[in-house]
């Protein structure tokens, strides 16, 4: 996510909060943290991660509105996150020369997570659905030729970064499920761990390398306004 996108969203959210925050029953919060994303092999939520897929790391930001009732909540969010995966392996061209191949896909999404929350003292259990829209994608390909003698010499690098929005290759809309747990650290601050699993194959061309998004998110949520108990 680019800096100008974050600034625009933050400005919009702050403006909304300044108007809505006067209502004591409103609950707004903001969460930010780190994401670790890769691919699930099959559409099943329990499908394994392919051994040659490596994860990519990024940051995310989430704005949330909560509807509390008794010891439960319904949370509606707006989230910006980067997902994707990378693959890296090497093979021998000759007995003394090997080639490393690495490529990665990065997908920038705007998402609408909707969660049902159960509260148990300082813990919260969350489960729900998530709707995602892909607004930017990026593919990067890199090869490196290496002389395996002594000393080890890297003598050729080809590094290409291609923005593939114009190819219309990827499905723009995605949906999935998410589960998570939160722990209240102090009055207005929670630590949250969330797993997201999507059910729409990313690639319209149905190639095997691009399958289903899977992400692990860890962040801190700060509640901007607290309603009456």
**Contacting residues for 125 by C-beta, under 8 A, at least 6 apart:** 117, 118, 180, 181
The per-residue pLDDT for 228 is 40
Give the confidence band of 50 by pLDDT, cuts at 50, 70, 90: low
Domains parsed from the chain with CATH numbers:
3-85+105-134+173-223 (2.40.160)
pLDDT tens per residue across span 127-161: 999 999 999 888 777 777 776 666 555 555 555 55
pLDDT tens per residue across span 197-212: 999 988 887 766 678 8
- Locate 22 and state its tokens: 């006067």
Give the confidence band of 46 by pLDDT, cuts at 50, 70, 90: low
The per-residue pLDDT for 227 is 44
Name the more confident of 107 and 1.
107
pLDDT tens per residue across span 84-115: 888 877 666 666 677 777 778 889 999 999 99
**Contacting residues for 57 by C-beta, under 8 A, at least 6 apart:** 34, 35, 36, 37
- Closest of 62, 56, 67, 73 to residue 26, by C-alpha: 67
- Find tokens 């809505």 and name the residue: 20
The per-residue pLDDT for 85 is 84
Q: Is the pLDDT of residue 167 over 90?
A: no
The stretch 158-169 carries a mean pLDDT of 59
Burial of 171 (C-beta count, 10 Å sphere; 0-12/13-18/19+) = middle
Name the more confident of 225 and 21.
225
Mean pLDDT of the chain: 78
Q: Is the pLDDT of residue 229 over 50?
A: no
Residues 58, 35, 225, 191, Cα dihedral to 10°:
-130
- Closest of 79, 87, 81 to residue 51, by C-alpha: 87
């Amino acid at each position: 996510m680019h800096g100008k996108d974050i600034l625009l969203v933050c400005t919009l959210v702050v403006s909304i909060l300044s108007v809505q925050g006067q209502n004591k029953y409103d609950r707004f919060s903001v969460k930010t943290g780190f994401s670790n994303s890769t691919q699930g092999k099959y559409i099943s939520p329990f499908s394994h991660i392919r051994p040659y897929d490596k994860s990519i790391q990024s940051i995310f930001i989430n704005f949330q509105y909560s509807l509390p009732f008794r010891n439960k909540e319904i949370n509606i969010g707006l989230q910006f996150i980067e997902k994707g995966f990378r693959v890296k392996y090497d093979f021998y061209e000759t007995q003394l020369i090997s080639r490393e191949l690495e490529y990665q896909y990065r997908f920038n999404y705007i998402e609408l997570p909707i969660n049902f929350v159960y509260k148990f003292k300082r813990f919260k259990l969350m489960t729900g659905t998530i709707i995602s829209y892909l607004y930017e994608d990026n593919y990067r390909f890199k090869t490196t030729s290496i002389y395996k003698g002594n000393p080890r010499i890297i003598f050729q690098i080809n590094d290409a970064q291609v923005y593939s929005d114009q190819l219309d290759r990827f499905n723009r809309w995605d949906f999935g499920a998410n589960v998570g747990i939160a722990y209240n650290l102090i009055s207005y601050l929670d630590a949250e761990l969330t797993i997201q699993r999507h059910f729409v194959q990313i690639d319209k061309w149905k190639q095997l390398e691009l399958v289903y998004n899977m992400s692990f998110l860890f962040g801190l949520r700060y509640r901007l306004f607290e309603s009456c108990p």
